[in-house]
Every structure is written in structure tokens, then in C-alpha cells.
């Protein structure tokens, strides 16, 4: 799944055109508040504007403190998937329940240094877990290799629950297979996806997964 943060926003219609032609259905959209992460990107108004002009389902990754505040605006904008960081709220369960009550799919995100045990209590409430494979806030960083063990441990903790495991940060053709072997089944790709022809990038990633 492409991350819009890796695209050229000034040229967004052109950047996403090949993705539409390739049948990509979901776009990953990063929100950053300049406080939870050292960068600012896409407030709810911009997400809503983008949703109007782009023909994708949106997976909004909220790198935002107290994310509950903005969840209703995102759902009103038509966002289908919303993930909130475990570290960004004292009320994780409340945030998840709000997302679900409003009718979107709910995900929880863990920074690289956050143990998986911190979400054990909410596993029966969520649709997906996003494992950050870099420190969040910037595109183009290298994947933190010790993370594979964490993905595998999460997969085991999830057991037979219908929960997807998403990875985000530094994912490319060289490490996507290792992420999949560890248990991930949903791959966010930013700079790698947009640093070449989308069709080639997608084909290379799919080949790497074989
Ligand atoms: C990083 C963001 C990512 C980012 C990934 O904090 O959450 O979604 O776009 O970009 P790459 O694939 O370049 O690491
Ligand atoms: Zn992201």
C-alpha cells in the first residue's frame, strides 16, 4: 500500500494516476502534529480535501497526541481505516471504541521501542496492528532490522484472531519478504514506491514476496 507521504503533493494527481491504473485500492495517509513526532503533515481538513479528489480508500495513520479529538472529522470525511498510537493517548480503548462506533476499521500503532504486551488488552477490539519499522515522523529511513522478532511475537500473540499486521517505515524490495515471513501481511511503502515507475516498483515488490 503506497504512503502518500512519499509522493509529491504539488503533483499529487499525476503521482497517483499510475496507482489507480495498477488497481491499488487503499492509500496510507500520515497525520503528524509536530508534538508526538518532530514533523507536521496533513491535518483533518487536508485529509478531507484529498479524500474528495482521490479515488482510494484511506488508511489514516495518526501520529498525533490525543487522537480522539480528530477521529470524528476523519470519519465524516469518509476515511475507512484509522490507526492511533498506543503511546499517544492515555485512553487507547476509548479511541478504538470511538473509531469502531463511527463505523471505520480500527488499528493500533506501536513505535519500535514499545512492547507488544501494551496492546494485549485491546486485541479483541481491533482490526489491525501497525508495527513501526522506523521511528515515526520521516520518510526515507532504513528499516530497523531487530523488528522482525517483534512482528513474529505479535503474530503469535494474535493467534487466530482476524487481525492484520501492517508494517510501515523503510519497507522495500530487499526486506518485504522478511517482513512477510515474520507475519506481516500489509505493507506501507513510501519512498521506495515513489522513487521510480509505480508499475516497476509494484512488480518488484510482488516478485520479492514470491
Ligand atoms: C513514517 C511514516 C510512513 C512513511 C514511510 O513516519 O509513517 O508512512 O511515509 O515512508 P518510507 O517508506 O519512505 O519509510
Ligand atoms: Zn505511516
List the domains of the chain with CATH numbers. 4-209 (3.20.20.70)
User: In which band, very low, low, confident or very high, does the pLDDT at 201 lie, cut at 50, 70 and 90?
Assistant: very high
Angle between helices 198-209 and 12-21 (to 10 degrees): 50
The closest-lying atom of ligand 1 relative to the alpha carbon of residue 6 is: 9
Residues at CB less than 6 angstroms from ligand 1: 3, 5-6, 28, 30, 61, 134, 136-141, 168-171, 188-192
Ligand 1 pocket mutation pick from 4, 112, 168 by most atoms within 8 angstroms of CB: 168
Determine the Cα–Cα distance for residues 41 and 32; give it in Å rounded to an integer: 5
- pTM of this structure: 0.97
pLDDT at 73: 98
pLDDT digits (tens, 9 = 90+) for 48-75: 999 999 999 999 999 999 999 999 999 9
User: In which band, very low, low, confident or very high, does the pLDDT at 15 lie, cut at 50, 70 and 90?
Assistant: very high
The closest-lying atom of ligand 1 relative to the alpha carbon of residue 172 is: 12
The closest-lying atom of ligand 1 relative to the alpha carbon of residue 143 is: 14
Determine the Cα–Cα distance for residues 183 and 90; give it in Å rounded to an integer: 28
Active-site residue, 30 included:
yes
Q: State residue 187 phi and psi, 5-degree precision.
A: -120, 120
Nearest to 83 by CA among 138, 36, 112, 126: 126
Ligand 1 pocket mutation pick from 4, 6, 82 by most atoms within 8 angstroms of CB: 6
Determine the Cα–Cα distance for residues 201 and 45; give it in Å rounded to an integer: 30
pLDDT at 155: 98
Active-site residue, 8 included:
no
Amino acid at each position: 500500500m503506497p504512503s502518500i507521504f512519499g509522493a509529491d503533493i504539488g503533483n499529487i494527481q499525476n503521482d497517483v494516476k499510475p496507482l489507480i491504473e495498477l488497481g491499488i485500492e487503499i492509500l496510507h495517509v500520515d497525520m503528524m502534529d509536530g508534538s508526538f513526532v518532530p514533523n507536521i503533515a496533513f491535518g483533518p481538513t487536508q485529509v478531507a480535501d484529498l479524500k474528495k479528489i482521490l479515488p482510494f480508500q484511506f488508511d489514516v495513520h495518526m501520529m498525533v497526541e490525543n487522537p480522539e479529538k480528530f477521529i470524528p472529522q476523519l470519519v465524516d470525511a469518509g476515511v475507512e481505516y484509522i490507526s492511533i498510537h498506543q503511546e499517544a493517548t492515555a485512553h487507547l480503548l476509548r479511541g478504538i471504541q470511538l473509531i469502531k462506533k463511527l463505523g471505520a476499521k480500527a488499528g493500533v500503532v506501536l513505535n519500535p521501542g514499545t512492547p507488544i504486551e501494551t496492546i494485549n488488552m485491546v486485541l479483541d477490539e481491533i482490526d489491525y496492528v501497525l508495527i513501526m519499522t522506523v521511528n515515526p515522523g520521516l520518510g526515507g529511513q532504513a528499516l530497523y532490522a531487530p523488528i522482525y522478532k517483534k512482528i513474529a511475537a505479535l503474530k503469535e500473540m494474535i493467534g487466530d484472531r482476524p487481525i492484520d499486521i501492517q508494517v510501515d517505515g523503510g519497507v522495500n524490495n530487499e526486506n518485504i519478504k522478511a517482513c512477510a515471513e515474520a507475519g506481516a501481511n500489509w505493507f506501507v511503502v513510501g519512498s521506495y514506491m515513489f522513487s521510480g515507475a509505480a508499475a516497476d516498483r509494484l512488480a518488484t515488490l510482488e516478485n520479492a514476496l514470491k
